[in-house]
Amino acid sequence: MGDALLSIVVSAVVLGSLYSLLASGLSLIWSTLGIFNYAHGALLLVGAYLIWTLSARAGLPVILAFAAAVPLLALVGIALEFVAVRPFAGRANGTLLVMVSTLAVANAVGGGAQLVWGPENVQIAPLVEGSFLVGRVAVAGTTLVALGLALVLVIGLIVLLARTEWGVTLRAVAQNRDMAMLVGVRPARVYALVFGIASVLACAAALVYGTNSTITPAKGFEPLLTAFVVLVFGGSATLWGTLVGAFVIGLLDAATTYWLGLQWSPVAVFLVLVVVMLVRPQGLVKGKVA
């Protein structure tokens, strides 16, 4: 029983790290722009393929491939905001239009990935080789990398939002866009930067995902759905809630997979979503932006 619980916790750490990185980007975009970016899973997919291409085909060490992929994916995210969000966000029914446009981008990226990289499964080499034993359970070094990456980036973003001038500017735009414009803030620049930061988080999530699972062009949407559950569960306007919610959902996901099987994991996760929306629709933690 002890080894079983430890195995579940180890899996929950990896899943929680992945979901916290992915959902934090969604939370930042939702808090600032009031939209849900359906192409966020596509950013995860592109980031994973970029890291794999630079490491497996170009021969770079994985850490250098990741470092090179981060600015590239940030530029992709900024371009996404410029092409698929900015032209529609200010119109009547802008939220619906952005949902459709980002969903179209996500589908296009999935098809494009299949043309460029093919349908075969690929996997990013681990950043850290080997594992160590806790009891009789082997804990891979990539598990600690995933946890460290998630905690450093998400908590670092929370501190950035709370204690820097840029964070104040972002929160001002999120709370009252028109008033922020009156004091000289340019919301368009803030929105582009928000998409760039969300893309960096998606690239980190891609590293965690690609080193612990295989990548195919069809795999970007599944983690996005779970990240959406995390967003609702933890509270869509607070990164602290997103961080806590990600590891709770990761634990539920891992436990359900271990005890009942992989096919029951989405069922359990979405049952939790329904219960949370009925009982506490504001999410686990109430707050603003951070």
Nearest to 21 by CA among 129, 132, 145, 193: 145
pLDDT at 123 (0 to 100): 93
Q: 87 is in which domain, residue-wise?
A: 2-279
Model-wide pTM > 0.95 = no
Position 255 in a domain: yes
Closest C-alpha among 290, 105, 31, 75 to residue 197: 75
pLDDT digits (tens, 9 = 90+) for 230-251: 888 877 667 888 888 899 999 9
Q: Does residue 192 form part of some domain?
A: yes
SS3 198: helix
Does the pLDDT at position 159 exceed 80?
A: yes
Residue 77 lies in a domain: yes
Give the pLDDT score at 56: 92
Query: Is 175 within a domain?
Result: yes
Percent of the chain with pLDDT over 90: 44
Q: Hunting for tokens 């820097």 — which residue is that?
A: 164
* 284 occurs within a structural domain: no
Is the confidence at residue 290, as pLDDT, over 60?
Answer: no
Domain count, the chain: 1
- Judge whether residue 206 has pLDDT over 90: yes
Does residue 269 belong to any structural domain of this protein? yes
CATH number for the domain that contains residue 181: 1.10.3470
Residue 285 has pLDDT above 80, yes or no: no
pLDDT beyond 80 at 106:
yes
Per-residue confidence (pLDDT) for residue 237, from 0 to 100: 63
The answer as to whether 21 is a domain residue is yes
pLDDT surpassing 60 at residue 25: yes
288 in a domain, yes or no? no
Closest CA to 10 of 181, 204, 258, 223: 258
Q: 97 versus 128: which is more confidently predicted?
A: 97
